[in-house]
Amino acid sequence: MKVSYLGLTLLAVVCKIGVAIAQPGLQSNAIKKDWWHIDAIKPYKLPATASKMSYIKVQGNSFVNDKGKVIVFKGLSISDPDKLVKDGHWNKKHFDVIKSWGANLIRIPVHPVAYHQRGVEAYIKLLDEAVNWCSELGIYVLIDWHAIGNLQMEVLSQDMHKTTKSETFNFWRNIAEHYKDIPTVAFYELFNEPTTYDGQYGTASWDGWKTLMEQMIDLIYVYNKNVVPLVAGFNWAYDLTPVKDNPIARPGIGYVTHPYPGKRAVPREDKWELDFGFVADKYPVIATELGFMPGDEDENLKDDGIYGPSIMKYFNKKGISWVVWVFDPDWIPQMIKNWNYEPTSQGKFFSDVMKGK
């Protein structure tokens, strides 16, 4: 069959149009490649003004620096960066004050609701600012995925904590890739407070939780092996008793406890030993939340005049690191009364301890 020159030309045009129609994704990608967030989040780079900081590693039951020196962390938790932006206090001054209080570690709680509403790229920019300031001040950072509830069934306590297993895995994938080999960001607290709340958030087993955490740690280590993942126990991150017979089977990790006053009646020390303290004989433990306040507003936080000195004495004996909740005048138990940074009773107590008074 003869085909004219004009026919061949028309056929070529039709074929070219067909390709364009059949593969619109390829055409749009050729025009613009970076419209989704995973392409927009570039690897974090330390500022030129950063202090020289050591990587933190696990050695036996301790956190150590590059020279093998044991580091016991004494720090505090700020409120969510999104809240601080809205309050008008997201700035380096906030971190300067924390440094002056004697902290060597700052915990940054990332609430899923703020992460959703602000957007991944915009929220990570806030974290970058915090890491910049902490790098300049020589303070280590702990990033905390601040969800509460039962991640195994995806039943969370409140709207602000609602997340999924998929989102949680991808959050840590983004964080691990973004802060790869950045010594300032020393710890990833994988999930703030696991709890079934006496069945109100469904059911969960330690075996299931252990598997979930091990999968998360494996994913993190693909991107960043120079970080310490932190794993919490049940009962709002208080109970580590399952670790005795069935520890997390991954190297380089630490365990989390939240030993607020209301968890145990006085005398507390023997119960602390049974509930979480024994773990510190073999693995690093960090109490990423503790604190107290006067009055009867919350029985779990009520100051009995005994808790503060006794838990500091216990932590010193066991070599347990700690982070006080919370450096904010609104969230309880407050460390500051106002934005003039006037300390509350617990703020003064813990600041004195951090300063070695």
Residue among 332, 342, 235 at smallest CA distance from 291 = 332
List, in sequence order, the alpha helices (H) in the chain: 5-22, 24-31, 37-40, 81-87, 92-100, 112-118, 120-137, 165-178, 206-223, 234-237, 269-275, 307-318, 345-354
- Residue 40: its pLDDT value, please? 66
List, in sequence order, the alpha helices (H) in 138-233: 165-178, 206-223
- Residue 6: its pLDDT value, please? 41
Residue among 102, 101, 82, 98 at smallest CA distance from 90 = 82
Q: Can you list the residues of the chain whose pLDDT is less than 50? A: 1-31, 37
Distance CA 257, CA 276 (A): 7
List, in sequence order, the alpha helices (H) in 224-323: 234-237, 269-275, 307-318
Of the chain, the end-to-end C-alpha distance in Å amounts to: 99
- Residue 33: its pLDDT value, please? 53
Distance CA 63, CA 284 (A): 7
- Residue 152: its pLDDT value, please? 98
Q: Identity (one letter) of the amino acid at 162?
A: K
Contacts of 58-65 spanning 24+ positions with Cβ under 8 A: 58/228, 58/251, 58/252, 58/253, 58/254, 58/283, 58/284, 60/282, 61/280, 61/281, 61/282, 61/283, 61/284, 61/285, 61/319, 62/284, 62/319, 63/228, 63/254, 63/284, 63/286, 63/321
DSSP class of 343? B
